[in-house]
């Protein structure tokens, strides 16, 4: 007869299995939260970047200079007005509320209205949704009102407010990613921005050289000599192209 030796076999108890499953669940949950938070942070950063691009499209960056002279560019500098909706930064031709073309000759031949002075498109890196061009925030918010899913408000003599409505896709909200960006009271273009661009544009239309009041940011035509101009601490004598 063959003797069979049986060894004691050990295994997991029910309690141990429950603990293992619980630990695995916790690790999976933490990993999922990390991935979601990382993704949301990247979308928020994209929103910030695209907001900056919208501002640059409208008023440029007057701190840029060529040969020491400020560079004035953007929708406002070209058209002397703020856009009435964001797709005017992409299309210069309109029939009612519909953007038609960024080419003036095509616009005129079609009998549509061309925005005077428009030299766009002013926005790049556009997305396509249903065959239409859009410039969405990082959350992919979408609308058909010509504002690409952004909240858009012009307040007379204050400025232009543009906001992303965030992850929750609605105005207001609380939490890091549901809140509107930027917050309330922040204007992408202020009246001061518009006044400054108007001032810079006026320089190019003024005979050179000129005396500039740096406090009032205005040309002082009462001082026509360099000696008299530079005799005042808040004035400079300058030549503009």
In a domain, 137, yes or no: yes
pLDDT of residue 104: 86
Nearby residues of 15 by Cβ (< 8 Å), 6 or more positions away: none
Instruction: Indicate whether 198 belongs to any domain.
Output: no
Main-chain phi, psi angles of 49, to 5 degrees: -65, -45
Mean pLDDT of 11-21: 72
- Number of structural domains the chain divides into: 1
15 located within any domain: no
Q: Supply the range of the domain harboring residue 47.
A: 37-189
Domain-embedded: residue 216:
no
Whether residue 70 is contained in a domain is answered as yes
User: What number is the average pLDDT over the span 135-157?
Assistant: 91
User: Where is pLDDT greater, at 85 or 176?
Assistant: 85
CA 147 centroid distance within chain: 12
Residue 238 lies in a domain: no
Cα distances from 72 to residues 84, 120, 191, 197, in angstroms, run: 21, 14, 16, 7
pLDDT of residue 5: 53
d(CA 134, CA 139): 13
Predicted pLDDT at 73: 85
State residue 137's pLDDT score. Answer: 94
32 in a domain, yes or no? no
Residue 94, Cβ density class (10 Å: 0-12 exposed, 13-18 middle, ≥19 buried): buried
Residue 82 CA, distance from chain mean position: 14
pLDDT digits (tens, 9 = 90+) for 182-232: 988 889 999 989 988 888 887 766 666 778 887 877 778 788 888 888 888
CB 94 within 8 A of CB 101: no
Q: Is the pTM of this model over 0.85?
A: no
pLDDT of 29: 64
pLDDT band at 38 (very low <50, low <70, confident <90, very high): confident
């Amino acid at each position: 007869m063959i003797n069979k030796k049986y060894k004691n076999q050990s295994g997991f108890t029910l309690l141990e299995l429950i603990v293992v499953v619980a630990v695995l669940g916790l690790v999976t949950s933490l990993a999922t939260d990390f991935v979601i938070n990382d993704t949301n942070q990247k979308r928020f950063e994209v929103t910030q970047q695209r907001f900056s691009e919208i501002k640059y499209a409208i008023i440029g960056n007057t701190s840029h200079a060529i040969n020491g002279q400020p560079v004035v560019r953007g929708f406002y500098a070209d058209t002397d007005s703020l856009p009435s909706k964001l797709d005017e930064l992409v299309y210069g031709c309109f029939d009612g509320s519909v953007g038609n073309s960024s080419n003036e000759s095509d616009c005129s031949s079609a009998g549509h209205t061309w925005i005077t002075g428009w030299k766009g498109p002013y926005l790049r890196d556009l997305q396509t949704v249903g065959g239409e061009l859009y410039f969405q925030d990082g959350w992919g918010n979408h609308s058909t009102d010509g504002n690409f899913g952004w909240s858009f408000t012009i307040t007379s003599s204050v400025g232009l407010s543009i906001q992303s409505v965030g992850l929750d896709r609605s105005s207001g909200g609380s939490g890091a990613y549901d809140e509107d960006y930027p917050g309330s009271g922040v204007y992408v273009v202020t009246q001061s921005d518009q006044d400054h661009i108007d001032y810079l544009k006026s320089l190019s239309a003024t005979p050179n050289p000129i005396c500039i009041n740096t406090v009032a940011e205005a040309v002082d035509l009462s001082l026509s000599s360099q000696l008299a101009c530079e005799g005042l601490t808040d004035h400079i004598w300058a030549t503009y192209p």
